[in-house]
Structures are given as C-alpha cells and as structure tokens.
Amino acid sequence: MSKQPKTPVQKNEIVEVTIEDMTHEGAGVAKVNGYALFIPKAIPGERVKIKVVKANKGYGFGRLLEHLEMSADRVEPPCPIYHQCGGCQLQHMSYESQLKVKQKQVKDVLERIGKVTDVTVHPTMGMSDPWRYRNKAQVPVADREGGLVAGFYQERSHEIIDMEECLIQQQANDDVVQAVKKIAQENGLRGYDEKSHRGTLRHVVARYGLMTGEVMVVLVTRTEELPNKQRIVEQIQAQLPKVKSIVQNINSKRTNVIFGEKTKVLWGEEYIYDSIGDVKFAISARSFYQVNPKQTKVLYDKALEYANLSGSEQVIDAYCGIGTISLFLAQKAKHVYGVEIVPEAIDDAKRNAKLNHITNATFAVGEAEKVIPWWHAQGIRADVIVVDPPRKGCDEALLKTIIAMKPKRVVYVSCNPATLARDLRMLEDGGFKTQEVQPVDMFPHTSHVETVVWLVRN
C-alpha cells in the first residue's frame, strides 16, 4: 500500500490562512510553508478558517468555514442558488474588484508564462449594468419526484440545480425555460436520464436577439418522435408571443455534447436576427454567436482600432466563425479573407455577408494553418492578420505561417490568458512586438476574461 505523501497540511485538518491571490477559476490562493491551497469563494486579503478537503503532493483544496478578517470587496451574492450552482464564480465580489482581478490575472499570466513584461495591460473594460447579458440559455432537463427540473449543474457534478431564474440571462430566456418546463410536464414529456439513456427532453435552448427582440426555442430530444408535438408548439406560441422560431434538435447519442446532427423547424422561421453595430446576423439553432452582444461591440471596436485600417489593406481572419469579426473589418478594409474549420459556420458567414451586402469578404472551410499558407502561395498578401482561436490557442503551424507572412500588424483576440501568453512568446520570438493589451469583461460574475492584443512587426 503506497504511503500518503507528507504535506504541510493533512486532509480534514482545520487551519487558519491568509488569502494571497486568486486562480483563473476564481478560487482564493493561500500558502502554508510554501504549499498552495485553493479555496473557492475566498478573496485576496481575507484571513479565513478552512477545512482541508484534499491534500495532493504539490497543492491542496480547502473549504471556507469562517471569516476571521473579511475583504471590503466582498458583497452578498444576489442569486439565491449562487452557492450551489456552478454557472458563476465571482458574485461574492464587488463588480469593480472583479474587473481589477481580471486585469491582474492577464498581466500576471503574460509575465509568468509569456515573459511579456514591458507592455501596458489596460484596466478591464466592464459593463455599466453587468446583469441579464446572456442571449443564449442551454439548460439541461431531468425527472425528479414531483416533476421536471431544469437548471444548471452544481459545480463539479452532474446534479441539476432547479432554478426559477438566472440573473445573468436575458429575462426572455428565463421566460422560455420556465414556460417550456411547465408545458413539457403538462404534456407528459419525460426528462432525460443520462445513466439509463432514457427520457425524451434533454435540453431547452433559448436564443434571444437583443436588438430585434426575436426569440428562438430549441427542444433538444433523445428521440425523433416528440409526443404531443402539435399541442406543445401551440402552447409555446400562446404563452411566448415574441417567439419567432420553434425548432427540434435530435441527439440520440450517449454524450454530454448538447446538440445532435439533425435539426428541424417545427414552427416559424429557421433563423432569428440580431445586430452588432451596423452588421446584421442570421442566427440558427446551432450557430455560434457571441453570448454578450453589447460587450462584443466593445471587443470588436477595440480589435478594429488595433487593426488600424485605412481602406487599402488585405486582412486575414483566422478562426472566423460565422464571420462576426470579418464583417466588422470588411467595413474598413480593402478585402477580408476568413477561414474556419466548421462548414456550417462558413455557410452562415457567407449568408451574413450577403445579408449585409458586403462583397469584399471571402470565406473558406478548412484548418487555418493549411488554408492560409495556400492563400499565401496564391499570392495573397496580408497587411493585417486577426486571430480569435478557441481556448487551446493558436496551432503552432499557424503561428509559424503568420511569422513567415510578415503582416504589418497582428490582432490577437483571446478567451484564455494562458494560451495567449504562450502564443505571444512565439510571435515575439518570430519578430513581432506586443504594443498593448486590453482585457474586456464579456462574462461578468464568472472567472472568464477576453483579451485583445495589438502586435506590430519589428
């Protein structure tokens, strides 16, 4: 039997610690003889009593038992299920302190991982009203004694916390979830059980167009058959008059991926519409579209400023999605080339270009690290390259391509400071200089931070 490694604290031990820092997941960090302890819901500067719940070799986890000294940044979370639900991590902190923490996180990570030290990291751009901002709700549904429950998962579990409302969702989305839960129950629909792979209704997805007020309801079902389908559709229409589209998505697989491959319109339109600035977007059930359009405008305006377009530039947008940044850039560029690996996203990007009468944007399906070198070989020269990669950051082959193409400017939009720092190091080693870093709070009350970075070629 292997011996438990000797650590400065043991599991179940109760200790008093001072919180020194915060992780990028929003937990407080304390140290006992250099040994790091991570404590959810604790704030830097606080002195707390904790119970050690896990003691690994190099670090441990604690549960907050009592405050001995409380931070002035601590507030009472307004959400009644905040301490059970895993959706938000920072509601116990004042909004001003959340913005400061996010700025510090970006700065610390760039210095520690990327060795990017001599650059201005601006204060985080936040929202004047940081509530009710999300335009899409994806809510799992399950059976319980007493009926259906619909809500978000408890932190680090698959236990659904039933909810009446979510304070970071648009009110229209809450209305959809509550109405559909009631209608489904009245019509005898069973919630999905992931252990037995039984039940019909897996998720309720609500999408809301902030500028248009249009609403889409998506019923994600395990089976193609939807009992009492016509009655359910009629009741949704009657109870939710702003609904423009009712859609069924079929996901018959044993998986925690929300959507299946097959989608069919039960009533109304295939798309709802929204706009960011002057650009209009058609949004289908499975379209990727930024969940906080107000802050997306802030983010894209900053990206446009860093791109510094005069109208004569050729721009490449790697990871272009449904063309959101591309179409913004096309308003000021000579031509924009967008590439994205998801074929449906490129279909949406082309449709959105047509919708906005934008003719100076070309979209291609494929891996950016393969398509962009091919464009380069065809004689396409980029003055500006914009990247907005997933959390894992840019592919190394793409970064090498950017370095080889030698654009005047690179604008890097990131949702993960750690992979951003890694990629900036490679771009700096390849002849680029980081000029400015601007964090943007796209997801208030969560630990996530979006960042826009401006680089120029030395």
Q: Please report, for the chain, the start and end positions of each structural domain, with discontinuous segments joined by +.
A: 14-69, 100-128+292-457, 136-276
Q: Which residues pair with 365 in a beta bridge?
A: 340
Q: What secondary structure does DSSP assign to 351-382, as a single string?
A: HHHHHTT--SEEEEES-HHHHHHHHHHTT---
The helix (H) or strand (E) run that includes residue 428 is: helix 417-429
Q: What is the Cα–Cα distance from 44 to 6, expressed in whole angstroms? A: 27
| Tens of each residue's pLDDT in the chain, 458 residues | 455 568 899 999 999 999 999 999 999 999 999 999 999 999 999 999 999 999 999 999 999 999 999 999 999 999 999 998 888 999 999 999 999 999 999 999 999 999 999 999 999 999 999 999 999 999 999 998 878 999 988 877 888 999 999 999 999 999 999 999 999 999 999 999 989 999 999 999 999 999 999 999 999 999 999 999 999 999 999 999 999 999 999 999 999 999 999 999 999 999 999 999 999 999 999 998 999 999 999 999 999 999 999 999 999 999 999 999 999 999 999 999 999 999 999 999 999 999 999 999 999 999 998 999 899 889 999 999 999 999 999 999 999 999 999 999 999 999 999 999 999 999 999 999 999 999 999 999 999 999 999 999 98
Any idea what the Cα angle at residue 339 is, between residues 367 and 273, rounded to 5°? 130
Q: What is the Cα–Cα distance from 184 to 148, expressed in whole angstroms? A: 8
Orientation of helix 396-405 relative to helix 368-377, angle to 10° = 20
136-276 CATH fold: OB fold (Dihydrolipoamide Acetyltransferase, E2P) (2.40.50)
**Which amino acid, one-letter code, is at 413?**
V
**Which amino acid, one-letter code, is at 80?**
P
Q: Six-digit token pair at 240?
A: 């939710």
Under 8 Å between Cβ of 323 and 356: no
Looking at 3.10.290.10, 3.40.50.2300, 3.40.50.150, 1.20.950.20, the CATH number of the domain 100-128+292-457 comes to: 3.40.50.150
Give me the pLDDT at residue 1, please: 46
Among 25, 47, 29, residue whose Cα is nearest residue 37: 29
Q: What secondary structure does DSSP assign to 385-434, as a single string?
A: EEE---TT---HHHHHHHHHH--SEEEEEES-HHHHHHHHHHHHHTTEEE
Under 8 Å between Cβ of 333 and 311: yes
Orientation of helix 417-429 relative to helix 95-112, angle to 10° = 40
Give me the residue label for tokens 């007020």: 213
CATH homologous superfamily, domain 14-69: Nucleic acid-binding proteins (2.40.50.140)
Among 216, 180, 370, 219, residue whose Cα is nearest residue 289: 216
DSSP 8-class letter at 5? P
Q: Six-digit token pair at 163?
A: 């909810």
Which residue among the candidates 79, 166, 320, 415 is catalytic per the annotation? 415
CA atoms within 13 A on the CB side of 392: 3
Q: What is the Cα–Cα distance from 272 to 206, expressed in whole angstroms? A: 11
Instruction: Report the predicted TM-score, pTM, of the whole model to 2 decimal places.
Output: 0.93
Give me the pLDDT at residue 147, please: 87
Give me the sheet containing 314-318, strands edge to edge: 120-121, 432-440, 450-457, 409-414, 384-387, 314-318, 335-340, 361-365
Burial class from Cβ neighbours inside 10 Å (0-12, 13-18, 19+) for residue 66 reads exposed
Any idea what the Cα angle at residue 322 is, between residues 441 and 210, rounded to 5°? 55
What Rg do the C-alpha atoms of the chain give, in angstroms? 24
Say yes or no: do domains 14-69 and 136-276 share a fold: yes
Under 8 Å between Cβ of 147 and 182: no
Give me the pLDDT at residue 5, please: 62
Give me the pLDDT at residue 4, please: 58
Respond yes or no: is residue 415 known to be catalytic.
yes
Helices (H), 269-367: 293-307, 324-330, 343-355
